[in-house]
Structure 1
């Protein structure tokens, strides 16, 4: 009996009543008699290689890796053997779907744009023969498989479908021309042999979480950009402290781009890495528009760019830096937002994110916190501490945050703002290094050492104003299996469903908080994680503290990118990297989702999934 099958049976989920969608893409479970506190039937933790949803819901695959984006006159089909070319990949869904948003094109919300990130590539699946040998064509295809998709979707009598072709359809990737704006633009930090102006750059990649501006543009976040830069190992002897802080060290690269694309060779072009790690603004309604990297928001392993309005009408952007012992940031614009979400408003706000103040958070032990300015000449961020000007502050925002004494967090990731109360929630995914020799000890905001399961922290800005410089904070959840002693799991209610490594967060317009998890593929179903099943989507009611499991994904995946439509009758969510874990002996994949069955006979594919109530009602009820 396989491990997956054994664990599935151990959940007691013998009440499977249906297999739904193509090739057994989803299943539903009959309700038990306990009732559902959030209005939907229970979903157990499971290691089933498919989508598990409540019995009154259906889940369907909409946009898998390799599907045509819908660009007129160029819609190559996906080749299951990975023989699509690098040119094909510029016209198809990228790999490893992540953050996502739905932009309505009609008032009734039945037609809109889905804009989503493609975070990284699994080179063994992307190419017919894996990574051996590396070639220039493989580098191009890999760069083209990241970035952002813009697709058009509509709700029909048969359900949601992709509109093919669409005048809005677009793929933005690792070779797309972009502008650099803000305080670092045009400075020596951004200048390279290929771009003496320091204002132009090719591409965005490592695109993880996201944000949406009040004027209707999409913000994609460049997270683990550092792993794509490299060079000969002997060049590591000459790296600067700043390069070490950001992980851009020759010889530590994940992929060998530098051998075939010289701009990724840090020993020759060290400034190229400064041009990544930013929030990138994209106008999803204009496929001819040029994406812009907004340097005023600071360079980091960018995770989340969640926008809200201040009391006086400016925009505040909350951001995390997804690495152990990194920080939580806020940017507040200098100028007020021009209201509206049409082309006129987008034009009027086109430079709004280039002028303002960047802050970093300090969480004090008394449950209070402060936003500390990262402004040249203030708080010790000056020439004496290594910062010549504001450009250097934003390029090396991590080091500026060190100077002002911000709180080192347990991998801050997605941030969500409650639509009614204004409370701000952030996921702290985990940090196994907390309390290790030579590493920071536990503190009030990060109380577990090691922190294997993560949690959700929240704060309330003073006076309910996102521009405030002080706030009150507490812990909403300390995740993990509460049956295990000494791990410190704590949920708002004793019967809340357990989970680990919260990552994505999304508030729907009704105030329900949708929590997505990202436990390591190697940890899922083993040891301290055995009872938690595969990664999942949970629904939380912050008012009551009730948290219920809503969806469980296939083997090895991360659940991410959840967004609920304005009418709350459709939930879109991304299934990233199914099959991530491989058998160390045979290299066999542990997932064949969504096109096949185990033992894996097809390449697993990241995909966007549509979830709806069968009766057309509001999701989460």
Structure 2
């Protein structure tokens, strides 16, 4: 694409929010029906909800608020729907998307930090990956998508306890024509952990997809959660590496491999490959934020950009 074409991507079109129906509002990462994380074998089903004052989609909280036929457009223009004021134009909508999502009952997620479309996914089906860093605060909505009464929010709203984060995958109902899909399946492909073992990591942040469809991620929170450095990881999602596959004696499917460890209390952000995949550039952000660091020159800590080059075998 040309620079002009890239800049024009958002000049026209429609804006949608991913509503992960069936997700447990008290956890943000398990299903109400199973009390467990959604898996590839037992996924959740979500919908793309058009956010527009002309949207004919049914508001996710329409049933809970007593008007099953209430459209998103009608709900957004309604000056009292779900205890939130009205939005008269799409320009008003675009300026307050989190509030708009709350108004129509979109399921609150566990702080999505990055999202990447993977047309060459190793599963064989294109997927959309989302990194959920963590969520340890109270929610604005109840399970039905209704805003808690401000007078009782502090005592009634659930406080989520996800300190380690996760990575989810979304598969469109029409993978060959994803822009036309109105529904998707969603499931967890990796869950953070607090340990200090070889495959422990927490708080995924930036995602990176390589030219072969491989999934990589940086973290922002390892240091505070598990007292070891944040890092950059490769997530093995190759189905050939599952237990029971030919030649597999030590299954690595679903495990995160640490590739680059960062200085004290720094975040790995903005990763990018060179075209030949021989070098990864990434930023070392806020080293020494809450713990002493002398990165990178041995004196005061400074953010920086590094390049990691893989040597040929």
TM-score after normalising by structure 1: 0.36
| Other-structure match for 1:571 | 280
Pair 1:352–1:563, CA change in 2 (3 A): closer
Q: Alpha-carbon deviations, 1:204-224, whole Å to 9, x = none?
A: xxxxxxxxxxx2xxxxxxxxx
Structure 1 residue 579, shift from structure 2 partner = 1.2
What is the number of equivalent residue pairs in this alignment? Answer: 237
CA distance in 2: counterparts of 1:398 and 1:553, whole angstroms: 32
Aligned counterpart in structure 2 of residue 541 of structure 1, from 216, 233, 236? 236
Give the 3-state SS of the residue equivalent to 1:560 in structure 2: strand
Query: Within 2, Cα distance between the matches of 1:349 and 1:506?
Result: 19
Of 205, 213, 219, which residue of structure 2 is paired with 1:517?
Answer: 219
What corresponds to 1:360 in structure 2?
17
- Measure the CA separation in 1 of the matches of 2:51 and 2:94: 8
Corresponding residue to 2:51 among 341, 362, 374: 374
Secondary structure of 2:276's aligned partner: coil
Residue 393 of structure 1: SS of its match in structure 2? helix
- Max radius of gyration: which structure? 1
Q: How far is 1:407 from its partner?
A: 0.8
In the TM superposition, what is the alpha-carbon distance from 1:350 to its structure 2 partner?
4.9
Mapping of residues 78-157 of structure 1, within 5 Å: none
Q: 1:450 aligns with which of 135, 157, 161?
A: 161
Deviation, 1:466, is: 2.7
> 1:137 is matched with which residue?
none
Deviation at 1:480, TM superposition (A): 1.4
**Structure 1: tracts of 5 or more residues without a match:** 1-214, 216-340, 443-448, 484-494, 583-589, 597-601
Aligned partners of 2:110, 2:216: CA distance in 1, in Å? 20
Q: Secondary structure at the match of 1:498?
A: coil
Q: Distance in 1 between matches of 2:275 and 2:283?
A: 18
Distance 1:545 1:469, change over 3 A: same
The answer to whether 1:462 aligns with 2:166 is no
Where do residues 147-546 of structure 1 align in structure 2 (5 Å cutoff)? 215=1, 341=2, 346-347=3-4, 350-365=7-22, 367-378=44-55, 379=72, 380-385=74-79, 386-421=86-121, 422-434=126-138, 438=155, 440-441=157-158, 449-464=160-175, 465-467=177-179, 468-481=181-194, 497-519=199-221, 523=224, 529-530=226-227, 533-543=228-238, 544-546=253-255
Q: Identify which of structures 1 and 2 has the higher relative contact order when contacts are C-alpha pairs closer than 8 Å and 6+ apart.
A: 1
Q: CA-atom RMSD, angstroms?
A: 2.4
Equivalent residue in structure 2 for 1:557, among 266, 273, 277? 266
Task: Extract structure 1 runs of 4+ deviating beyond 6 A.
Answer: none
Deviation digits for residues 276-319 of structure 1 (CA, Å, limit 9, x no counterpart) = xxxxxxxxxxxxxxxxxxxxxxxxxxxxxxxxxxxxxxxxxxxx
Q: Higher strand proportion, which one?
A: 1
User: Normalising to structure 2: TM-score of the pair?
Assistant: 0.69
Aligned with 1:504: secondary structure?
strand
Unaligned runs of 5+ in 2: 23-42, 56-71, 80-85, 140-152, 239-252
How many angstroms does 1:482 deviate by? 5.5
Q: Pick closer, same or farther for the CA change 1:536–1:520 going to 2, 3 Å.
A: closer
Query: Deviation per CA, 1:254-273, whole angstroms, max 9, x where unpaired?
Result: xxxxxxxxxxxxxxxxxxxx
